Structure 1
Amino acid sequence: MTPSTTTTEQTTMATDTEQSYLRAVTKRLRALTPEQRAAVLDDVRAHFADAAEAGRTPEQAVEGLGDPATFTRRVQAELGHDAGRLDRIRRVLQWTAVGMAVFTAMFETFLWPEGMTFGLLVPYRGDGFAVVLWSLVPALVTALPLVVPARARTGTAVAVVAVLTVLALAAQMTFVPTAMLAWAALVVPVAARHGRPAPAWRITGGALLMLPGALMVTGAIAGSWGLEADAVAYIAALLGLGLLITVGRSWTGAVVAAVGVGVLVWATLDLGMLVLAVWWAGGLFLTIGLSHALAHAAPRRADRA
């Protein structure tokens, strides 16, 4: 074997090793945006080139990066793309939806004002333990994506949100917050798969957060009601929090979620004619706030390793 042949074979082997590594990495980086994926692959190519200039073999270059699985896990964790993070987002939102469904069932059964009906369950209030069980059926349905096998999870989640949406809009309007959270459990992991959600998601969340305040202002302008000092402060707070959500302040999500819980509790204590609107607003705040907090949370330390 001549020296030139040996050099050619070595070059071919080095190229094959590099291309094989790049293919393996590319397959594992499908969750990244094209721009992010291209940047990572450019870094890998540069690493192989630097190793060759320093006289290191392709195998030594691979050792410096780690095997493709380890390398891509590290990159995804740094960019906030780890699968564990997305699963945590889904599970937290789904469990919150289950809790919301249970809370709604208790509200329906024990606290809902007599004679105020917005669905099918309330007219049967007072019929005993069977009514409690019937009220808890939506909670059991909401929990299904948490217990089915992974391969059936997405299909089950889609079916669950469809059932909850029909229930909330056509049968029992108090379950609208539950449906909101179930939708969030389905959608937010998708929005967060490339790291923090795109500006369009934040703008939408901020606009929805401002919506109740905008409706209050519209009603005041139309003469439907007046705006007292506390109402003005409430509207100003919504506008401020909505703007902070829009610009992506991560801590704002926890604040908005806490406000949502407070509004939901307030709805159970102040059973006026607008109780359903207050209930919906609390569910909206909880959904937006929790979704924002989870989607903008930094990866856990274990995920960064």
Structure 2
Amino acid sequence: MNAHSLPARAETYLEQLLGALADAPADVRAAALDDVRAHVAEALDSGRTVNEALAGLGPAQTFAAQFREELGLPEEHEADETIGARLLHVTAVVVAVLGGVMNVWLETAARDLSLGVAVLLFIPAVLSALPLVLPAHLRVPVGLANAVVVTAFVVLMIGGVGAFFAPLALQLWVAVIVPWRVSKGLDLSQGLMLRILGAVTVALPALLLVAGMTSGSLGWSLATAAIAAVLIALALGFALGLRFTAWVVAALGVALLIAAFFDPGMLVLGAWWVGGYYLSFGVGSAVAWTHAARPAPRGPAATLEA
């Protein structure tokens, strides 16, 4: 029998197999399909039924898993999760570098800063980069160790340079916890209470601004009112499940961190912490949301043509 002219039951199996291998390279998907077609055609030519032929292969998901294992490919969704985890660690490196630069800038303004001390301030950035270059089996334990070490450093040095590494400690914990929770089924699109909790934390600075302007402790200004309105709008969008709001919150966090360099006043540390929180919350939520929103596998023709 022609290997490309198979019974409908076999074509259904091929479609299921393609769905299970939707994230694999096109040549891998094609090779898997060719193997199944050849196996079924050979079985039919020898007098067996299509059901007997497919029973020898096992369910499509099982066959796909075996095919991945033989070729050394990651499990389904693992590639997406790895990309998300790497993005979280890259964000940690960015926050660490910014924290080092901020401390160097402030310490230089206060007193002469030696080159050796300046170099030490970038050790957290080196630690944050380790999960990006180490073997896969070491990334989680090293990431967890980094989170513990940097958190301890922040607590011990909170009255000095440690204060500006607090956002880094938060981001390191996000880089450990979010991939783990995603692997356990975290789905922001389905978690109403989780979205509401996130919305409240995003809106909290806006509520404080409104309270300050209302009580008179904070001078009213159009700019302040606009900032409060934007934050409240973002919080509502997050609560409603608008995924793009996570990236907007992350971008706002970056803007606040950068703005702190240009306005080193009494509120610089507060702006730094809020910016770091927004960045960690935004990127962490975006990674969780992106994984949850992964599109369903398409049919064989559409997938092969992609």
1:101 partner amino acid: A
* 2:187 aligned partner, one-letter code: R
2:132 matched to 1:146?
A: yes
Q: Does 1:268 align with 2:261?
A: yes
Match of 1:143, SS state, is helix
Which of 82, 88, 94 is the aligned partner of 1:93? 88
1:59, CA displacement in angstroms? 3.3
**Equivalent residue number for residue 163 of structure 2:** 173
TM-score using structure 2 length: 0.67
Choose the corresponding residue for 2:206, options 199, 203, 213.
213
Q: 2:173 maps to what in 1?
A: 183
Aligned partners of 1:206 and 1:242 also within 8 Å: yes
Counterpart residue type for residue 78 of structure 2: A
User: How far did 1:73 drift?
Assistant: 10
Structure 2 residue matching 1:57: 3-state secondary structure: helix
What SS does the aligned partner of 1:201 have? helix
Q: Residue 150 of structure 2 aligns to a residue in which SS?
A: helix
1:192 maps to 2:182: yes
Counterpart of 2:289, as a letter, is H
Q: Give yes or no for contact 1:253–1:292 (8 Å, CA) kept in 2.
A: yes
Letter in 1 for 2:174: A
Seen in structure 2, the aligned counterparts of structure 1 residues 85 and 273 have a Cα distance that, compared at 3 Å, is same
Q: 2:81 is matched by which residue type in structure 1? A: L
Distance in 1, matches of 2:298 and 2:260, equals: 39
What is the CA distance between 1:169 and its match in structure 2?
A: 3.3
Question: Which has the larger displacement, 133-142 or 204-213?
Answer: 204-213
Distance 1:145 1:256, change over 3 A: same
Q: % of aligned pairs identical? A: 31
Task: Determine which of 215, 227, 230 is the counterpart of 1:234.
Answer: 227
Hey, which bits of structure 1, 4+ residues long, moved more than 6 A?
Answer: 71-74, 300-304
Q: 1:181-231: per-residue Cα shift (whole Å, max 9, x none)?
A: 111111111232226335243333222211222232344455432332211
How far 1:152 sits from its partner (Å)?
A: 3.0
Q: Distance in 2 between matches of 1:107 and 1:260?
A: 15
Q: Give distance in 2, aligned partners of 1:180 and 1:96.
A: 11
Supply the RMSD in Å over aligned alpha carbons.
Answer: 3.3
Cα distance in 2, alignment partners of residues 215 and 105 from structure 1: 29
Which shifted more, 146-155 or 248-257?
146-155
Number of residue pairs the alignment of both structures matches:
238
Give the 3 Å change call, closer, same or farther, for CA 71–156 of structure 1 in structure 2: closer
Decide whether the 8 Å contact of 2:257 with 2:272 is kept in 1.
yes
Superposed displacement of residue 148, structure 1: 3.4
User: Given residue 241 of structure 1, which amino acid in structure 2 is its aligned partner?
Assistant: L
Query: How much has 1:58 moved relative to structure 2?
Result: 4.4
Distance (whole Å) between structure 2 residues aligned to residue 201 and residue 208 of structure 1 = 11
Paired AA for residue 210 in structure 1: A
The answer to whether 1:66 aligns with 2:56 is no
Aligned partner letter, 2:182: A
> Cα gap change, 1:262/1:69 in structure 2, threshold over 3 Å: closer, same or farther?
farther
